[in-house]
Structure 1
Amino acid sequence: MRIMGLDFGSVTCGVAISDPLGWTAQGIETIHYVEHKKNLLFDRIGQLIHDYAVESVVVGLPKDLIGTESARAEASRGFAKSIHRKLKLPVELWDERLTTMAAERILISADVSRKKRKQVIDKEAAVLILQSYLDKKRMESKKDE
């Protein structure tokens, strides 16, 4: 069962997909969009869902360091509802605290240039969101065994 992870931002959306067993997350792309043409964003996500046979979606939910929802959280909640309504898939919100900062550190340690980091950071944040979700679900299933 493949799961899609999304890091939804104001002008970009990072996309990651799990392997078929749901163990690892791989970055797919960063989708650039403009607010008044958001239908193109949903079209691209829909195409990726079809191409990868995705069965559910995880959308990053921005929170601050103490766990309260950030100003972007409402936009992410609306985006998740739209994905569910338009693409007819289960959608879960997932705490994305510090994922962009962690992605930045990973890219810096890999000696990725500043220009290249800007192009891939949202995709890498989507990988971190999805991987943390997969790890948590795997831990929960082990406890149930």
Structure 2
Amino acid sequence: MRIMGLDFGSKTVGVAVSDSLLITAQGLEIIRREKEDKLRRTLARIEELILEYEVEEIVLGLPKNMNATEGVRVELTEEFREKLERRTGLPVVMWDERLTTVAADKAMIEAGIRRERRKDYVDKIAAALILQGYLDRRSHGQTEKED
């Protein structure tokens, strides 16, 4: 069994997957979309990865505002969650993603990745951070939706 982590954005979806022991998260890829309202290819690619990695659960980043309010992005992410559940039949857990992009950017700076190359990795790293947070919480017996 593996768990998939997703960072859903307006133009990209960062994808990460856990190891089979559910201890670590690894960034896999970034799925790029031409239009925000076009999800067919994105969902098809996610399905391919689910089969390839034998995924049984999905963790989807919940983009709350820093003050914990929910804006338009949360609504779009909830709609994406519903489509994912219908299409894959897998449970989708929403996970607070505040500051994951900032943490991903900081990690790339520390790794010496040039500014112009960071956009090529940030969503994949953010997905891995979302998933790793969930895995860490899960290993401590707390799998409820993060507030």
TM-score by length of 1: 0.93
Q: Which moved more, 1:34-43 or 1:2-11?
A: 34-43
How far apart are the structure 1 equivalents of 2:119 and 2:49?
22
Residue 83 of structure 1 corresponds to which residue in structure 2? 84
How far apart are the structure 2 equivalents of 1:56 and 1:10?
23
Residue 28 of structure 2 corresponds to which residue in structure 1? 28
How far apart are the structure 2 equivalents of 1:68 and 1:133?
21
Residue 140 of structure 1 corresponds to which residue in structure 2? 141
Does 1:74 find its partner at 2:75? yes
Give the deviation of 1:118 after TM superposition. 0.5
How far apart are the structure 2 equivalents of 1:104 and 1:8?
17
Q: What is the identity, as a one-letter code, of the residue corresponding to 1:23?
A: I
Equivalences for residues 1-145 of structure 1 within 5 A = 1-34=1-34, 35-140=36-141
Residue 145 of structure 2 corresponds to which residue in structure 1? none
How far apart are the structure 1 equivalents of 2:89 and 2:61?
18
Deviations 1:108-145 (A, max 9, x none): 1101011221011000000000000000011126xxxx
Give the deviation of 1:36 after TM superposition. 4.6
Please, which runs of 5 or more residues in structure 2 have no aligned partner?
Answer: 143-147
Q: Structure 1 residues 68, 36: closer, same or farther in 2, change over 3 A?
A: closer
CA RMSD in angstroms comes to: 1.1
Share of identical aligned residues, percent? Answer: 50
Q: State the 4+ residue runs in structure 1 displaced beyond 3 angstroms.
A: none
Q: Structure 1 residues 119, 39: closer, same or farther in 2, change over 3 A?
A: same
How far apart are the structure 1 equivalents of 2:38 and 2:98?
28
Q: What is the identity, as a one-letter code, of the residue corresponding to 1:37?
A: K
Please, which runs of 5 or more residues in structure 1 have no aligned partner?
Answer: none
Q: For residue 119 of structure 1, give the secondary structure of its aligned residue in structure 2.
A: coil
Q: For residue 72 of structure 2, give the secondary structure of its aligned residue in structure 1.
A: coil
The structure in which a higher percent of residues are helix is: 1
